[in-house]
Structure 1
Amino acid sequence: MKEKRVKDSKTIMSIMVTPDKSNNHGTMHGGEIMRLMDETAYVVAKKHCRCDVSIVTARVDELEFYRPIHIEDVVTVTGELVFVGKSSMEVYVLVEVDHLSCGDKGDKVALSAYFTMVAKDKEGNRYEVPRLVLMNKEEEEKYQLGNQRYLKYKEKKKTNV
């Protein structure tokens, strides 16, 4: 099975927030933001696999909102792999916002989360994904933390059955 680097699947997507994605307070719906994050995580996972498999979202955790996103803001979503198991892939998704209309130059981080994506073949069975090649200490540290989360959730799943 071929190995892939983190940068091979890293994905950056941007949109302008329009009224149809917003509530009556002029801020982007949380569900719209989460949909965009899920799409980004899907693209990262699909680029990592590079084959005809289905990718499903198995878990979203540590979703944390830091600031509102308003109409006419530009939202940039970045996704990158931090951990790969046998068929699962953990994708860190970061949402940044540019308040272009008010010239805000402060902190741009709006929210972040970890998405666990699982590859499945045409019959719905788990599909083994390429291993992740770690190129530097930062990637190794992220991978170790991802592995710890993976083991914690695996243990939790055993006790909840």
Structure 2
Amino acid sequence: MKEKKVNESRSVTSVHVMPNDTNNHGTFFGGKLMMYVDNIGAVAATRHARQLVVTASIDSVDFLYPINTGSSVCLEAIVTWTHHTSMEVFVKIITEDLKTGERKLCTTSFLTFVAIGEDGKAVPVPKVIPESEEEKMLYNSAEKRYLHRRDRRLETRNFASKLTLNKPWER
């Protein structure tokens, strides 16, 4: 399978933040932003794999700066690293005050997607070739994040095995 440059997966979209997108503080709903993050991440992963993909995990969505009503949000996603069938996707979110032109990095996120074949089973994905300094930095630190995710997933499975599936209304 031929390797692909990180830039081949690059996906970008912009959203104008309207009043119905915000909470009572006049800032973008975190959950709505997460929907956009997952969506643009899936586009980047699909571009890289040229297969259907599913979201396997979202490491975090780190809100660094509020996104206000009337501003725009630019989301940029790239595949930073791959394993056998999984892809790490980095999403960078920049807010822009449309009146002043001031731009700020407001959110970052790492997601993992798995490529799925026609039979619904995971399929191999191409390796990535980082080129820019930012791509190389993300690539070189990705395996550490992968191992952390793997350990966290095992902890989550262990934790979940101890939980009951009672119907809350029967307690």
Taking structure 2 as the reference length, the TM-score comes to 0.83
Contact 2:81–2:127 under 8 Å retained in 1: no
Q: For residues 14-49 of structure 1, what are the alpha-carbon distances to aligned partners after superposition, in whole Å with 9 as ceiling and x for unaligned?
A: 111112212233221111111111111001001101
Which protein, 1 or 2, shows the higher relative CO under an 8 Å CA cutoff with sep ≥ 6? 1
* Map of 2:167 onto structure 1: none
Larger radius of gyration between Structure 1 and Structure 2: 2
Q: How far is the alpha carbon of 1:141 from its aligned partner? A: 3.2
* Map of 1:69 onto structure 2: 67
Q: Secondary structure at the match of 2:23?
A: coil
Q: Secondary structure at the match of 1:108?
A: strand
Residue of 72, 75, 78 corresponding to 2:76: 78
Aligned amino acid, residue 40 of structure 1:
I
1:150 aligns with 2:152: no
Q: Secondary structure at the match of 1:71?
A: coil
Counting matched residue pairs gives: 157
User: For 2:91 and 2:132, how far apart are their aligned partners in 1?
Assistant: 20
Q: How far is the alpha carbon of 1:100 from its aligned partner? A: 1.8
Aligned amino acid, residue 122 of structure 2:
R
User: For 2:17 and 2:135, how far apart are their aligned partners in 1?
Assistant: 32
Give the % identical residues: 31
* Map of 2:86 onto structure 1: 88
1:118 aligns with 2:99: no
User: For 1:75 and 1:61, how far apart are their aligned partners in 2?
Assistant: 21
User: For 1:104 and 1:2, how far apart are their aligned partners in 2?
Assistant: 41
* Map of 1:132 onto structure 2: 128
Q: How far is the alpha carbon of 1:143 from its aligned partner? A: 1.4
Q: How far is the alpha carbon of 1:157 from its aligned partner? A: 3.5
User: For 1:132 and 1:115, how far apart are their aligned partners in 2?
Assistant: 16
Q: For residues 85-128 of structure 1, what are the alpha-carbon distances to aligned partners after superposition, in whole Å with 9 as ceiling and x for unaligned?
A: 11111111011101123x263x6011111011111112221110
* Map of 1:56 onto structure 2: 54
User: For 1:156 and 1:18, how far apart are their aligned partners in 2?
Assistant: 36
Residue segments in structure 2 that go unaligned for 5+ positions in a row: 159-171
> Which range moves more in the overlay, 117-126 or 85-94?
117-126
Q: How far is the alpha carbon of 1:158 from its aligned partner? A: 4.3
Contact 2:26–2:69 under 8 Å retained in 1: yes
Aligned amino acid, residue 95 of structure 2:
V
Supply the RMSD in Å over aligned alpha carbons. 1.9
Cα gap change, 1:21/1:122 in structure 2, threshold over 3 Å: closer, same or farther? same
